[in-house]
A and B are shown apart, each in its own frame.
Chain A
Amino acid sequence: MGVEVGYTFPKKTFTVEPHRVEEFVIALGVEPYSGWTPTKGNAVPPGFFMYVITYGADEVHSKLNFDLLRTVYGGTDSEYFAPVNVGDVLSVAPVISSLKVKETKNGKLTFAELTCEYINADGIIAVREKSTTVERGN
């Protein structure tokens, strides 16, 4: 696979730009909460913190050596420890926290879990998000 559990990607900063959150909400077509507007200081809605959005898909999938044609998003486990608002600047260094292979009647499935801890300006973990990405076959 070319990568081991514990591998940590280089740290990056991510600014929660208003237009990025607005695009996300427009795609969904639902207000995340009453009074929502994509303006600085408003709470970032759930589901936004996912490594493809905040870190970039190419670098992660390349390291995992996952074929996009056979790769799907398996789920998330998001924990919220401190408020994160539109306009905040966060740092994140994703970690490959789990790699599992399962043999099924339809072939092999490889589950990769990526843990992202989003550190706010006070140095506190504001959000911990674990994404599971699944590759079929091979």
Chain B
Amino acid sequence: MADKDSSTPTLSSPEITRLRLAYMAVAMRDPNLVHMEDDYAKKSGLPQVIAHGTFAVAYVGFALSQAVGMDRVRRVKVELTAPVFPQDIISVVYTDLQTSGDLTSARISARNQSGILVARGESTWVTNPSH
């Protein structure tokens, strides 16, 4: 298990390939073609297909569950702020950690490889009981 409280949760995703989008469409049973067909996405004003919002949401959550374990995760709140496209790589950073009683909270930001903010939010988890 990773360090419990002395490290700040971070995560760098693999490249979000079109194959990953196909897997996610199947995993979610998501019928929205905006994630699969460029022509369809262009009809909605996008330059190409976009990744499911669950990519950014899950990477934000996984950064925390990797750092403290799923059993201590209490809240993950994520607002999606920009689309994620194929070939993007998402980097998640937790900042402004604050501990109050049994709980620790932090701000979250997730950016693509160009530095564009694709998601932001906040999270809360149970402080390491051994600290």
Contact = CB atoms under 8 A, between A and B. Distances in A.
A28 B20 contact: yes
B80 interface: yes
B31 A68 contact: yes
A76 B77 contact: yes
Interface in A13-46: 20, 23-24, 26-35, 43-46
A20 B14 contact: no
Nearest to B43: A69
A63 interface: no
A8 B27 CA distance: 25
A121 interface: no
B61 A47 contact: yes
Given A28-B13, A33-B70, A80-B75, A75 B31 contact: no
Q: State which size class the interface on A falls in.
A: 35 or more
Given A27-B23, A46-B70, A68 B57 contact: no
B23 A72 contact: no
A29 B12 CA distance: 11
A3 B55 CA distance: 29
Contacts of A83: 71
A79 B78 CA distance: 12
Contacts of A77: 75-78
B53 A46 contact: no
Contacts of A57: 28-32
Nearest to B24: A27
Interface of B: 1-2, 11, 13-14, 20-21, 23-24, 26-34, 40, 43-45, 50, 52-55, 57-62, 64-66, 69-71, 73-80, 83, 119, 121
Interface of A: 20, 23-24, 26-35, 43-48, 50, 52-53, 56-58, 68-80, 83, 132, 136
